[in-house]
Amino acid sequence: MKFAALFGFGQSAASSRKLSDSMSSISRRSFLVGSGALFASPAVAVAQSAEVDVLIVGAGAAGIAAARRVAAANRSFRLYEASNRVGGRCVTDSKIFGVPFDLGAHWIHNPDSNPLRRLASGFDIYPAPAGQTVRVGPRKARDSELENFLAAQVRAHRAFTDTAKPKTEVAAAALPRDLAEWQATIEFMLGPFAVGKELKDVSAADLARTAERESYAFCRQGYGALLAKLAAGLPVQLETPVDAIVWGNKLAVHTPKGNIIPRAVIVTVSTNVLTSEKIEFFPRLPKRQLDAAAKLSLGSFDHIALDIPGNPLGLQRDDLVFEQVLGPRTAALLANVSGTSLHLVEVAGDFGRELSAQGQPAMIDFASEWLASLFESSVKKKIKRSYATRWNEEPWVLGAMSAASPNESDARRILMEPLDGRLWLAGEALHETQWGTVAGAWESGTRAAEAALRRIGALKEGDEKRPARRERGPRRRSGDD
């Protein structure tokens, strides 16, 4: 295969523009080997013109933010998305239940400073209720039990935030061990429910950094609907997976639909996709970056959505319910979502992963039995429709949110490092305090875009858009968006 002619090396600019059409028939392996050898050879003359200024891989929050920033700078870009929709892990469905249903991210963290909140014109953003409802078996917790539960929450919070650095890097070890009957409940709330992993698998320092997440809101139309609105007008190419990237002295990107030579590349895929090698890099990504991505693997978090009309559980709008539990087989309930009859049973962590692997029927059976154990058995007959997400099985996601392993919270900074000044990674995993959130992904995408724009000479130092100062408010939960 004559790659020199194919890439326009030593050819005229007109010949170079034929790149995409002529490369569409090349295999990914031939593309990688041939283009990599050419780019490494100093004797080969490379065409100076680029087809596009910035190529962005992934149309989730980070990719959408990056594209909007490049567009604002009046530079050309391509935005490729492997799936058939935008949003990544933040998407709203209105067909399953006839009301907005956030399949992924739902909680809007720090709405007063959240960059998406400031762009939410026309959307109803309202504060999440304070506090939680607690069940002890089939009854409400008594006042004395609630006092003990709240005291356990305060002690757990202090264990991670009262010192500059926790005494241990294993979050489970940093947590007080004398929380009595609320020990397992607090472990679930801070671990699986907050970050999708068991506390034994989470960095205490990383968890401590979530202390800034102190106020929450919901979007009545759906958080994913808001993100999709912000993507409206962007020339997203759906069902266009990038499966190979040549990087180094020069850049080239391969997709089943064609190929392109950009001046900069921003890759916004999840850490699990990055380590899965669904995208082949030539040369391979440095071990430093691959190890960092592995240390920021995604946890497991799924919604088991149940349509229960008539409010037979007697709960308020957006009521958040936990139970006093003795082991890992538990869940949380978000009831009457935005005032509808939609109820979300949230399963996460090791138990959630195991349950999800058994499929939707097993997940729905668990949710109905769990609700019956907390309220009354008749509730199972009142469920009209049901649906369960399975994010671990989504091929272009492979999980929920990132969470650093013990002693590995610095991995986020490593992933932020540019590669040869032409390739950047972005996403929620690359934000040190807002990791695991849509806002963190958005700010990471904006930051990567500004770095790429500076690299190609389209942005001067000091022209970056600075995020607003974070506001303080009542603490509710660590996060799932």
CA distance 10 to 352: 56
Q: Report pLDDT for 65.
A: 98
> At what angle are helices 61-72 and 438-455 packed, to 10 degrees?
40
Domain 3-86+227-297+403-455 and domain 133-216+298-393 have a common topology: no
Average pLDDT, the chain: 87
What's the distance, Cα to Cα, between the start and end of the chain in Å?
47
Q: Are 144 and 181 in contact (CB under 8 A)?
A: no
- pLDDT computed for residue 8 by the predictor: 33
Rounded to whole angstroms, the Cα distance separating 406 from 391 reads 24
Instruction: Give the separation between CA 170 and CA 409, rounded to whole angstroms.
Output: 11
Place of tokens 């978000």: 334
Q: Can you tell me the distance from the alpha carbon of 346 to that of 184, in angstroms, rounded to the nearest whole number?
A: 16
> DSSP readout, 185-252?
HHHHHHTHHHHSS-GGGSBHHHHHGGGG---EEEETT-HHHHHHHHHTTS-EE-S----EEE-SSS-E
Residue 472: count other Cβ atoms within 10 Å of its Cβ: 11
- The residue extents of the domains of the chain are 3-86+227-297+403-455, 133-216+298-393
Between helix 349-357 and helix 360-374 the angle, nearest 10°, is 130
The contacts of residue 117 (CB under 8 Å, 6+ apart) are 108, 111, 125, 217
Question: Residue range 448-458: average pLDDT?
Answer: 96
Encode 385-444 in three state secondary structure: EEEECCHHHCCCCCCCCECCCCCCCCHHHHHHCCECCCEEECCHHHCCCCCCCHHHHHHH
Q: Considering only CA atoms, which of 242, 192, 170, 243 is closest in space to residue 405?
A: 170
Pick the CATH number of 3-86+227-297+403-455 from 3.40.50.10860, 3.30.70.20, 3.50.50.60, 1.10.940.10: 3.50.50.60
- Residue 22 predicted with pLDDT over 70: no
- Select the more confidently predicted residue: 249 or 39: 249
**Range 133-216+298-393 classified under CATH 3.40.50.10140:** no
| pLDDT computed for residue 472 by the predictor | 34
Q: Which of 102, 123, 141 is nearest to 224 (CA)?
A: 102
Q: How far apart are CA 170 and CA 201, in angstroms?
A: 7
d(CA 226, CA 64): 12
Residues 6 or more apart whose Cβ sits within 8 Å of residue 321: 132, 133, 134, 135, 315, 332, 333, 334, 335, 374
Alpha-carbon gap, residue 94 to 373, rounded angstroms = 29
**Calpha distance 438→61 (Å, rounded):** 6
Cα–Cα distance measured from residue 59 to residue 79, given in angstroms and rounded to the nearest whole number: 7
Taking alpha carbons only, the member of 335, 330, 360 closest to residue 348 is: 330
What is residue 82's predicted lDDT score, i.e. its pLDDT? Answer: 98
The pTM of the full predicted model, rounded to 2 decimals, is 0.87
Query: Which among 16, 1, 12, 19 has a CA at the least distance from the CA of 253?
Result: 19
Q: Average pLDDT of 303-332?
A: 96
pLDDT over threshold 60, residue 54: yes
The mean-pLDDT minimum among 206-210, 214-218, 340-344, 370-374 falls in: 206-210
- Residue 131 pLDDT: 87
Closest CA to 479 of 111, 174, 179: 111
**Structure confidence at residue 170 as a pLDDT band (50, 70, 90):** very high
Contacts of 379 (CB under 8 A, 6+ apart): 308, 312, 313, 368, 371, 372
What does the pLDDT look like over 112-152, one tens digit per residue? 999 999 999 999 999 999 889 999 999 999 999 999 999 99
Instruction: For residue 335, report the phi and psi dihedrals to the nearest 5 degrees.
Output: -95, 150
Segment 322-379, tens digit of pLDDT: 999 988 999 999 999 999 999 999 999 999 999 999 999 999 999 999 999 999 999 9
Over residues 268-292, the mean pLDDT reads: 96
Tell me which residue has tokens 């241990």.
168
Does a cis peptide bond (omega within 30 degrees of 0) precede residue 283? yes
